[in-house]
Amino acid sequence: MTKTNYINASIYSSEKQTFIDNQFMTVDDATGKIIAVGTGTPDTIAEQTTDMQGKYVMPGIMNAHTHITSIPTYWWHDGQEDRHPESREYNTMYAIHNMQDMVNHGVTYIRNVGAQYDIDVAISKMQREGKIAGPRVMTSGQAFSITGGHGADGGHEVDGVDAVVQGVRQALKMGVDNIKMMVTGGVLRNGETPDDIQFNFEEVQAAVAEAHHKGKTVAAHAQGNAGVKEAVQAGVDTVEHAFDIDDETIEMMRQHGTVIVPTMNAMYAIYKYGEKTVPAWAREKVIVNIKKHFASITKAAAAGIPIAMGTDAGTPYNGFEDESAYEMQLYVDKAGMTPAQAIDTATINCARAMHVADEYGTISAGKFADFIAMTANPIEDIRVIQQDKDVFQHGIQVHQAAKTAGVDEQVPVRQVG
C-alpha cells in the first residue's frame, strides 16, 4: 500500500464552520481514501509527501441538480427551445464535455435529475471505469412527467398510479439511483405555471413507495407552495426549486426530514441575462416568482431546513463551469447564509441528501480524498471558490490551477446585483 501525506494545509471543518491551519491528510493511493487527518506532522510514514503551502482545502463540490445532456448556453429558434440536441450521439457528446467542465471547476460529485435517452446511466459507468473525466454521477435517467406536462418532451410520460409504478420499476431495473418526479409546472414550458399541480398525491406517493422499497431516493420538481406541500407529504427526499413556501410547509419539511435544492441561479440567470433571448412568457414567470423564491430559501435556511446545493445546470445562461461556486455566492448574498453554511450546502448536505455521506462530503478518515485547494479563504470571501483551483478526486489531481493569485486578482468573475 502506497500512501501520500498532504501537509501544511488549512482544512475546512463543517463541525467548527471554519478552516483549521497546519493540518495534514494521509491518503491511501490504492483506494483513494483518507487514512488520517490531523494537526502538525503526520504519524504515518508515506512514500510521497505533498506540501500544500498553506492552501485552503475543502471537500470537492457536490451539485445535486444537473442536466448533463443539455447544451449549457442555448437559444430559442423561431420560438422553439433548443436546449437538447436531437440525437443520442450529440447528447452523449455534450454530456462528456459538460462532465469535463465540471470537474475542472471543482465539482467532483453530481446528482443528475433528468437526461435525454437515460444517458447519465451510461455516463456514470464510463466515469467509474475511468473512460471519461468528470464527477461521480448519481443517476435518474429520464424524469417522469404527466402526459404533456413539465419536461414531457425529454422524459417518461405516465398517468395514474399503475403507470407510475410500472415506470418507476422499469427505471429501477435499468439501474437509476434516483427517481425524478415533475410534480408541478415550471418556468421553461409555455402554457403552465409553477403553481400548477401536475402529478397528484397518490401518484407521487406510489413513486416514493417503489423507490424507497429498493433503497433509492425521489426528487420532486415542485415550485408553488401547494405542490411543495403535496411532495413533502408524499415523502419525497428532496424538493427542487421551492419557489414559494410558508411556515406550515417548513414545519412539514422539518417533520419529514425533507431537503431543499434551491437552484437559485436558474432563476437569477434568466432574470439577469435573458431579456430578448429567453421568451417573454418564460421571463415573465421568473419576474413574478424570483423575489418569492429568494425569500422562501432565506426563510427555510433560517429555520434550519437542510439545503443541498444544486444549480439546474443546463438552463439558460446556467452552465457547467463556475456556476456551482456562483450558486453558493447567491446563498450568501440572497439567502442570508454565512459562507460556511454555503460551503456545507455543497459538501456535507449534498452528501447526506444523496445518501453517500459515509464516503463523501467531509475531509475525514475513511472517506474518499475528493477535495479542492485554493490560495485564499472562502470564509472571508465566498467568491474565492470561483477561482481556478487545484482539484483532487480519489486522491488523484485531476486539474491544476494555471496560477496562484489572491482574490483581488482573479475575482470577481461574477457579481450579484
Choice among 114-123, 148-157, 352-361 with the minimum mean pLDDT: 148-157
Asked if pLDDT for residue 241 goes beyond 70, the answer is yes
Q: What is the number of other CB atoms lying within 10 angstroms of the CB of residue 17?
A: 14
pLDDT at 72 over 80: no
Position 41 pLDDT exceeds 90:
yes
In a domain, 16, yes or no: yes
The arithmetic mean of pLDDT across residues 203-232, rounded, is 98
pLDDT surpassing 90 at residue 52: yes
Q: Is residue 250 part of a domain?
A: no
Domain that holds residue 53: 3-60+360-410
The answer to whether position 317 is within a domain reads: no
pLDDT at 153: 84
The 3-class SS string of the chain reads CCEEEEEEEEEEECCCCEEEEEEEEEEECCCCEEEEEEECCCCCCCCEEEECCCCEEEECEEEEEECCCCCCCCCEECCEECCCCCCHHHHHHHHHHHHHHHHHCCEEEEEECCCHHHHHHHHHHHHHCCCCCCCEEECCCCCEECCCCCCHHHCEECCCHHHHHHHHHHHHHHCCCEEEEECECCCCCCCCCCCCECCCHHHHHHHHHHHHHCCCEEEEEECCHHHHHHHHHHCCCEEEECCCCCHHHHHHHHHHCCEEECCHHHHHHHHHHCCCCCCHHHHHHHHHHHHHHHHHHHHHHHCCCCECCCCCECECCECCCCHHHHHHHHHHHHHCCCHHHHHHHCCHHHHHHCCCCCCCCCCCCCCECCEEEECCCCCCCHHHHHCCCEEEECCEEEECCCCCCCHHHHCCCCCCC
The pLDDT value recorded for residue 61 is: 99
Q: Is residue 20 part of a domain?
A: yes
Query: Residue 348: what pLDDT?
Result: 98
pLDDT at 410 over 60: no
Model confidence band, residue 246 (pLDDT cutoffs 50, 70, 90): very high
Average pLDDT over residues 376-385: 98
Residue 408 has pLDDT above 60, yes or no: no
Q: Hey, how many other C-beta atoms are within 10 angstroms of the C-beta on 348?
A: 21
pLDDT of residue 307: 98
Answer whether residue 56 is part of any domain: yes
What is 168-180 written as a DSSP string?
HHHHHHHT-SEEE
What is the pLDDT, as a whole number, of residue 368?
98
Specify whether the CB–CB gap between 27 and 36 falls below 8 A.
no
Domain tally for the chain?
A: 1
Average pLDDT of the chain is: 94
Give the domain CATH number at 40: 2.30.40.10
Flag whether pLDDT at 413 surpasses 60: no
Residue 391 lies in a domain: yes
Contact at 8 Å (CB) between 208 and 180? no
Does residue 99 lie within any of the structural domains?
A: no
In a domain, 123, yes or no: no
pLDDT over threshold 80, residue 406: no
